[in-house]
Amino acid sequence: MAVGLIINFPGGTQEQYDTVMEQLNLRGRMPPGGISHAAGPTDEGWRVVDVWESQEAFDAFLHEKLYQAMQNAGLSRPQIDTWPVYGILEPAVP
């Protein structure tokens, strides 16, 4: 079952986010198992909202790649809230 994630980085910055994205070298695409990704600043730091095919797919990416990239960028471990995703809308086709 798909899972939604709200990932908060208290004190995180756009520069740190950009560093993580560079290190992951995703070329503007989600990694295997990822469905969607959005990120931006909050009053407390930086937030990412993702949808993944499964908790296991996200956990594998987190432990195999993301944690190291976050550490390299000087980010501490984030606060992660998850929920089961019931519905996903696809982009409109013109």
* Domain region containing 55: 3-84
Residue 90 domain-assigned (yes or no): no
The pLDDT confidence band at residue 39, using thresholds 50, 70 and 90, is: very high
Phi-psi region of 11 (alpha: psi -120 to 50; beta: other; left: phi over 0): left
pLDDT at 11: 97
This prediction has a pTM of 0.91
Residue 89 domain-assigned (yes or no): no
pLDDT at 90: 87
Residue 91 domain-assigned (yes or no): no
Q: 13-32, pLDDT tens digit by residue?
A: 999 999 999 999 998 999 99
pLDDT at 36: 96
Residue 57 domain-assigned (yes or no): yes
Report how far residue 74's alpha carbon sits from residue 37's, in angstroms, rounded to the nearest whole number.
Answer: 21
Residue 40 domain-assigned (yes or no): yes
- CA angle centred on 91, ends 87 and 92, rounded to 5°: 115
Q: 50-94, pLDDT tens digit by residue?
A: 999 999 999 999 999 999 999 999 999 999 999 999 999 988 988
Residue 92 domain-assigned (yes or no): no
For position 21, which CATH number holds? 3.30.70.100
Secondary structure (3-state) at 94: coil
Residue 10 domain-assigned (yes or no): yes
Report how far residue 64's alpha carbon sits from residue 69's, in angstroms, rounded to the nearest whole number.
Answer: 10
Number of independent structural domains in the chain: 1
Secondary structure (3-state) at 31: coil
